[in-house]
A = this chain, B = another copy of it.
Amino acid sequence: MKYVENAWYVAGWASEFADQPVKITVLEQELVLYRKTDGQVCALRDLCPHKLLPLSMGKVDGDTIQCGYHGTVFNAQGHCIRVPGQEIIPKRQCVDVFPVHEKNNIVWVWMGDADQADTSQVFDLPQFHDKTWRAHHGDALHIESNYLNVAENLVDPAHVSFVHPTTLGNAQSEDVPVHVDTAGETITAWRWIRDAPPVGFFKELGGFDGHVDRWHYYYLHLPSTAVIDFGSADAALEIAEEDREQGMRIFALHFLTPVNATHTIDRWMHIRNRAIDDNSIGDRMNALFRIAFDEDKVILEAIQEQETRLAAAEKPTQKPLRLAIDKGPNEYRKRIERLQQ
C-alpha cells in the first residue's frame, strides 16, 4: 500500500539498540540497525544482495556488519568492503542506508529521500526538557490494524466513553460536544467535562474525591505521532482552559510505526507534572494505560478484520460511513492522502 515516505518514524527506544543487529520493519521495508563504535545508530536495508539473506542474521564487527552466509562485509554506508574468496567486489554488491536520528531517548528513522531528511523536524515537546515534568516510557504495543485506524482513534474523543468506560471515560462525557481545530499543522480535538465525578484514572492516581473539571486535548502530528493532553482539576477552582497546569496534567504520547497494511506498533509513554519523583506512581499509571490501550487494540483489530474481509469479498467494498463526530479523523485522512506519493 501507499505510505507517507518522507517522514521520520520511531525505530525504537534508545535502549533497544546496542552492538548487536536489530531487525525492524517500517512501511513494509525490512531494516537492520546497530550502534557503531561512536555510539551512533545506523540503519541498512536488511538484505544481502548476494543471496538475499537478512543481514540481521549476521554479525556486527565494529562499524561493519557481516553476512552470515558467505561472509560478505558491509560498512555503515552500505558499501561492500569484502567478499571472501574473490578479489573484485561488484558495484551492485551494496545495500541502501537510511538516515537515523536519536532524540529524547528515542531512535527515529527517515524512510524517504535522504536529501530531505531534516533532523529539526523530529518530534519534540518542551516538557521533555523541563525539570518539573517527568517522562516515563511505556511499551511497544503491537496492533494488527492499519496505522490510519490507529491514528484516527487518537484524534477521536467520541469513543472514550464507550471503549474506556471505567478507565479514561465515563457516562458524563457521552454527549459533550467535541471541538476540532484544523487550522494548524497538527489536528486538534478537545473537550471539557466540567463539574463531574472523576474518571477511574484520576480517582486512583490524583486523589480526587469530589467533582472535577476534566479535559482531553488530542494533538495529531502528521503522519503518525499523537499527543494527548488530559487531566483534571478540582471543580471548585473553575480553572480557565489555558490554566490546565493548575491541575494534574498528563501528556500521553503515541508514536505509531506502520509495519505493513495490517500491523502497527504503537510505542507509548507519558510525561506528567505530578509525583515526578515517585516511580511507583509512574508504573501504576502505565498499568492503567495498558488496560485502556488494550481496550483500543481489541476494537482496532476487529475493524481491520472487517476491512480485510470486505475488501476480499465484495465489489464494490463497503467503506466506513463518515459522521459529523469524525471531523478530526476525516481531516486526518484527507491530509494523509495528499502526503502519500
Contact = CB atoms under 8 A, between A and B. Distances in A.
Contacts of A321: 49-50, 90, 92-93
B161 A50 contact: no
A86 B50 contact: no
A174 interface: yes
Interface string A44-66: 00010111111001000000001
A207 to B, nearest CB: 30
A161 B69 CA distance: 9
A178 interface: yes
Interface string A22-60: 000000100000000000000000010111111001000
Interface stretch (A7-15, A125-133, A223-231, A301-309): A301-309
B325 A174 contact: no
Interface residues of A, number: 47
A118 B84 CA distance: 42
A162 B69 contact: yes
Contact of A50 (B47, B68, B84, B323): B323
Interface string A271-313: 0000000000000000000000000001100110011001001
A53 B323 contact: no
Interface in A88-144: 88, 90, 92-93
A70 interface: yes
A308 to B, nearest CB: 10
A67 B159 CA distance: 10
A285 B178 CA distance: 62
Q: Which of A54, A298, A306 has the most CB of B within 10 A?
A: A306
Contact of A306 (B52, B68, B303): B52
Interface string A147-170: 000000000001101110000000
A317 to B, nearest CB: 10
Contacts of A210: none
Nearest to A59: B162
B177 A69 contact: no
Interface in A303-339: 303, 306-307, 310, 313, 318, 320-321, 323-325
Given A68-B163, A303-B52, A306-B53, A323 B158 contact: no
Nearest to A310: B52
A28 B85 CA distance: 37
Contacts of A90: 321, 323
A83 B306 CA distance: 21
A193 to B, nearest CB: 12
A324 B84 CA distance: 11
A83 B175 CA distance: 9
Given A51-B303, A70-B158, A85-B325, 17 more contacts: A47-B318, A52-B320, A53-B299, A53-B303, A53-B306, A54-B302, A54-B306, A57-B298, A67-B162, A70-B159, A70-B162, A71-B174, A83-B325, A85-B174, A88-B324, A90-B321, A93-B321
Would you list the 4 A-B pairs with minimal beta carbon distance, nearest first? A52-B306, A71-B162, A86-B324, A49-B321
